[in-house]
Amino acid sequence: MIQTPLSAERADQDAASRTAVGAVADAATQADADEQASLARLVSTSGERLPNAELDPWVAELDAAAIAELYQDMAVIRRLDAEGTALQRQGEIGLWPPLLGQEASQIGSARALRGDDFVFATYRDMGVAWARGVRPSDLNRVWRGATASGWNPYEVNMAPLQVIIGAQTLHATGYALGIQNDGADAVALTYLGDGASSQGDVNEALIFAASYQAPVVFFCQNNHWAISEPVGLQAHRPIADRAPGFGIPSMRVDGNDVLAVLAATRLAVERARTGGGPSFIEAVTYRMGPHTTADDPRKYRDPADLEIWAPRDPLARIEALLRGLGAFTREFEQQVADAADTAAAAVRAETIAIAQPAAHELFEHIYAEPHSGLARQRAEYLRYLAQFEEPTESGQPSTDGGAR
């Protein structure tokens, strides 16, 4: 076929475009390879146990049974995560932020803590909440819109999940200063995402923590996406590199390797517990699902990214490790499936049973003590709601504040 000059020019443009796209893809692939090579890791994607002189001592006591427990924990929170998405799609809760892909980061870090340590987490850390002992019904209380908080923080030593990006890092640092003032040896651990690392609150928390050598660990789950913004846009160097600028030691670990995450967190927690001050961990992982159930990542994410990260699955590599140790038996597999199904069934049943509170209850948990200003707002709101109430038998509107 003889091309016309116009079609030849178009062909040249297409070829140049393909070359440019190929160059960008090659650069992205190389950047990914460089990143993976830089991470501290104890288990390869194929399940091979890797030596690491710095991390090995912190998980030396883990036998096959202990590793199997970590696997079961990850399997359970993955099942709970799927149940959360299903409940949202069925209208039982208003929103759900999936954690698929981040199971190792959440379980490895949470299992490094003592009961008297205190956690300040963000909205995606439902796996951490489960590991801290939050009841199934309390996991979804906020997402069902029934309360502003899901649980009593002092029963599980974990603050309610924070939706304001990065604010929880300041809370953690303040709590750590209290621990320091009391002369206790507990530790505060705060979770944040790669997007939150650019927030002013986080940088202020790092300054305060470093200035007062507060016993706090900053645990950043770099899942590569701040909603639709790729991490490379706001971090031209690894996020962990920022902490030393504040005088805080940092470590970058494979966030899909539960053993590496557990070891790194134990190291940082022990450092804080023994007066060594704050630490910063960047757990490099990947958000395999949407930002929330209100998001469609197909609008901004290359599907090829999922193909790259799928073989790095946190559960698959531990399954391979356990199979190599002869510990991934049919009985164990069934035990894990039963535990996950039981937890999911409990979350579903207890979530659906959560009663909707009366509207006036909104005013009952804002301040520790009532005051006249709050009472006035409450009265005004009840009068407003009463306009929509059906008259009672006495002919007067109901005063239950719009309870449904």
Residues with catalytic function? 287, 291, 300
- Cβ-proximal residues to 145 (8 Å cutoff; 6+ apart), any chain: 93, 94, 356
The pLDDT, as a whole number, for residue 283 is 98
Q: How many residues are there in the chain?
A: 404
Q: Give the pLDDT of residue 172.
A: 98
DSSP 272: H
Per-residue pLDDT of the chain (404 residues; tens, 9 = 90+): 344 444 556 666 666 655 665 666 677 788 888 899 999 999 999 999 999 999 999 999 999 999 999 999 999 999 999 999 999 999 999 999 999 999 999 999 999 999 999 999 999 999 999 999 998 779 899 999 888 788 999 999 999 999 999 999 999 999 999 999 999 999 999 999 999 999 999 999 999 999 999 999 999 999 999 999 999 999 999 999 999 999 999 999 999 999 999 999 999 999 999 999 999 999 999 999 999 999 999 999 999 999 999 999 999 999 999 999 999 999 999 999 999 999 999 999 999 999 888 878 888 878 888 899 999 999 999 999 888 877 666 655 554 444 33
b/e string for 276-292 if b means 16 or more Cβ within 10 A?
ebbbbbbbbbbbbbbbe
pTM of the model: 0.88
Say what the pLDDT of residue 9 is: 63
The CA-based dihedral angle spanning residues 389, 390, 394, 399, taken in that order and rounded to the nearest 10 degrees = -20
- Residue 165 near residue 199, CB atoms below 8 Å: yes
d(CA 341, CA 296): 27
Q: What is the pLDDT of residue 30?
A: 84
